[in-house]
Chain A
Amino acid sequence: MSHAPETGDHAPPVLELPEFLDLKAAAPLVGQLLALRGEELSIDASRVQRLGGQCLQVLLSAAMTWKADEAPLAFINPSPDFIEGLKRLGIAPAEFIDQELPQ
């Protein structure tokens, strides 16, 4: 997990999600998200291969938190596995991802 360098003056920071969003990934993810709270954020889901229930909680909570803070949050480049993971956990990807779904 790393912060990609900012690509332009107004480009928001990008948080890259790890490959495995399992039990072990939940606590570090919360820490990283809290560190970026209050500002516009893009979350890059291109590498995700597996999404578990607890990381979903973290991501949903992050979405709520950013909304409460009235800061923009976007999920970008979702991998097919990430989309599949959301569906399996009962979340329609279109609600979550600011991208055209790769169908």
Chain B
Amino acid sequence: MDAMAAIKQTFFQECEEQLAELEIGLLAIQDGDVNPETVNAVFRAVHSIKGGAGAFSLDDLVHFAHVFETAMDHLRAGRLAPSHEVLKTMLRAMDVLADFVRAARDGGCVDAERSQTLAKELRALDPDGSGAGSEMDDEEIAFEPVLMDQSMFDDELEAAAAPPVRLFTIRFRPKATLYAKANETALLLREIGLLGEMAIACDASALPLLSELDPEGGYLSWTIELLTTQDEAAIREVFEFVEWDCDLDIESDAASAAPDDIDLAALIQKMQATVEAELSALSPPPTRVDPLAEASRKDADASADPGVIDLAKARQKKSEQAVGEHLGPKPDQGAAGGASQPTIRVDLDRVDRLINLVGELVINQAMLAQRVMEAGLARASGVATGLDELEQLTREIQDSVMAIRAQPVKSVFQRMPRLVREVAAMTGKLVRLVTEGENTEVDKTVIERLADPLTHMIRNAIDHGLESPEARAAAGKPEEGLVHLSALHRSGRIVIEVSDDGAGINRARVKEIAASKGLIAADASLSDEEIDNLIFLPGFSTAPSISDISGRGVGMDVVRRSIQALGGRISITSRPGRGSTFTMSLPLTLAVLDGMVVTVAGQTLVVPLTAIVETLQPKIADVHGFGGGARVIAIREHFTPLIDVGRELDYRGENADPLACVALLVESEGGVRSALLVDAILGQRQVVIKSLEANYRHVPGIAAATILGDGRVALILDVDAVVASSRADSAAFEQSLATAG
């Protein structure tokens, strides 16, 4: 990836973060948050996106962000009240902004009509009415892209809640190499100026006469006094690319003094004195300084020389701020975001490589343990004890490495409010989404594959679960329906619940539909739970007409399949009139798997534990032939296909004797139960998953592979594929019988 593409990628990552901040902030304001810092945070988010987009000439994005930012500025300045309507517009504008960002990243275009409508609505928010309908002035938004994160928004409004102001003294001496690498002092100083209010003094004492001057040397140095709410890191960031090409020294007065007893007036006075001293010491003096010019200099300094800090103003602002607080040793960055911990961005590939290696380590450790056992060393021997400790350590390393890939489900949960808004608007229902446990962590791959099923379930909850406002009012419920989305860790898995306070499952109707579609017998006697689970059957749809939102006839069947593909389970509970709850339980990672180790025709296989319902010893009376070598087994009055895994995988030509085998009752796609016949069960253990596709090629009936403690490769059974292949065999046999007969 070239440097520009990498920078752009970082920009888009930052955009996602800013959009998330924006949403959190807007929702907080909607919920009555009146902290000015929250408003500033949302303003900054839009501003940062606009700034970055400007650098990449993403004009459409810049234009929309600018309109949005202008409206936000009215809110920030208190000219616009954060009413429900205003926030609704802003939330929708945020959705459009997100569309623009994604269109810029992934290609494609944004619904022009929608964005124009929103832009118009945003302009109409202008309290003076001057912005309404007016076209943007391009010049107005032509700005130099600068640092993404600046504090250039302070005004009196937020003075009360703003982080404390600190005084930094920055000594900066650029070397010749700084200029040689096309960096420019003037630009660096301008960026520093954007961090707060500053006074600059230039020291030319090292400057030689023109005849001795190297035109491209570095002789000048600068002393900058900066009053800012930012921390030292923000200042250092400005010099990030030139740090090897200059002498840089940053001192903070606030850090060295006790925060409680700083005399602000003295501080300002000291700063003024320093600046004036440096200015007067400035060399060389001009060649022809006449009294008039001297006088005008004094005047200029005292009145309105913007290059030199307006100390009077700064002093005044500082005193105002000091009324409510003392100078803190470290500013609290972004009250809306809370204290941020330092993070680094790492390529996912690198993390995966590490995880892979730790997987190898786990396997190696298991092999070593087995060797030690085979060598007949006593359990209490030093080697065995050391090995136990190694095992402990290995497990801890594995957990920690897995934690690197773990991410909070927040990234998926955050997409849901928008979905809820859109579906609510489409169905005309009033919906409030409450999320809980956003910070629950789970493997990144699981998160990525969670978005689709979750989207579907939320849509379903609103479209099918919640009633219309009128129906709710008639039932004595609040008109606004509630959808609750939560995540939590439970016994080594993540449990995600989607619940609504709607009407609950209409069981009579579900049963009727299932019967009419031939999914169940019309007179079948089913428990409530069984009826509820009918909605997971393929092709089941309760909507009278296929709507745009859900009910395309694929519904919950697809959800269930994608959850199962992740090694998860889904269940439903419903109470008439009170609503329904869908509960998903998923593994925390896809890198390890709980499996049952079995043998089949001398081969060792691993069957995922999530697929297994129970294990049993077949009795001869229960096994019945079904023609063509197919057999069924009676389990509690149900006939279940009995599949010989050894024969299905071509390990053996003949069916094994069920009496000498063990049957695993498994549940596959669509809740179909089958019994898998294996020779013996060796035990249950956690195995590290190795992809067969990546290392060899796809093998039908096999999901992946793992390496066991004895160093042998064991294949992980793809239960769904084995069951499906067995069914296809039976169908082919029946077909051939029909043809023959």
**Interface, chain A (partner B; CB < 8 A):** 22-23, 26-27, 29-30, 33-34, 37, 50-54, 56-58, 60-68, 71-74, 84-98, 100-101, 103
Contact = CB atoms under 8 A, between A and B. Distances in A.
Interface of B: 174, 179, 182, 184-186, 189-190, 193, 200-202, 204, 207-211, 213, 215-220, 222, 224, 279, 282-290, 293-294, 296-297, 300-301, 304-308
A94 B216 CA distance: 26
Contact of A53 (B186, B211, B224): B186
A101 to B, nearest CB: 6
B186 A85 contact: yes
B216 A67 contact: no
B300 A101 contact: yes
Contact of A30 (B190, B215, B283, B289): B215
B208 A61 contact: yes
Contacts of B283: 64
Contacts of B217: 57
A61 B216 contact: no
A53 B179 contact: yes
A54 B215 contact: yes
A68 B307 CA distance: 28
Contacts of B185: 52-53, 89
B200 A96 contact: no
A91 B167 CA distance: 21
A97 B300 CA distance: 13
A53 B174 contact: yes
Given A30-B210, A103-B304, A98 B288 contact: yes
A58 B600 CA distance: 86
Nearest to A54: B179
A53 B220 contact: yes
Given A53-B174, A63-B287, A92 B216 contact: no
B252 to A, nearest CB: 20
B522 to A, nearest CB: 86
Contact of A23 (B179, B282, B304, B307): B179
A89 B172 CA distance: 12
Majority-rule SS of A interface residues: helix
A100 B300 CA distance: 10
Given A34-B211, A54-B179, 20 more contacts: A27-B215, A27-B216, A52-B186, A54-B218, A57-B207, A57-B218, A57-B220, A61-B209, A63-B287, A64-B210, A65-B209, A66-B287, A67-B285, A86-B307, A89-B202, A90-B201, A91-B202, A92-B301, A94-B297, A95-B289
A61 B308 contact: no
B184 A94 contact: no
Contacts of A86: 307
Contacts of A57: 204, 207, 213, 215, 217-220
Given A53-B174, A58-B215, A89-B189, A95 B182 contact: no
B279 to A, nearest CB: 6
A74 B290 CA distance: 11
Nearest to B284: A64
Contacts of B284: 60, 63-64, 67
30 contacts: A22-B184, A23-B182, A23-B184, A29-B215, A52-B186, A53-B185, A54-B215, A54-B216, A57-B219, A61-B207, A62-B210, A63-B286, A64-B210, A64-B283, A65-B211, A73-B288, A74-B288, A87-B307, A88-B186, A88-B307, A89-B189, A90-B200, A90-B222, A91-B282, A92-B279, A94-B300, A94-B301, A98-B286, A100-B296, A101-B296
A57 to B, nearest CB: 5
A100 B551 CA distance: 78
A35 B216 CA distance: 18
8 shortest interchain CB distances as A-B pairs: A87-B307, A53-B185, A94-B297, A90-B200, A90-B202, A64-B284, A27-B215, A65-B210
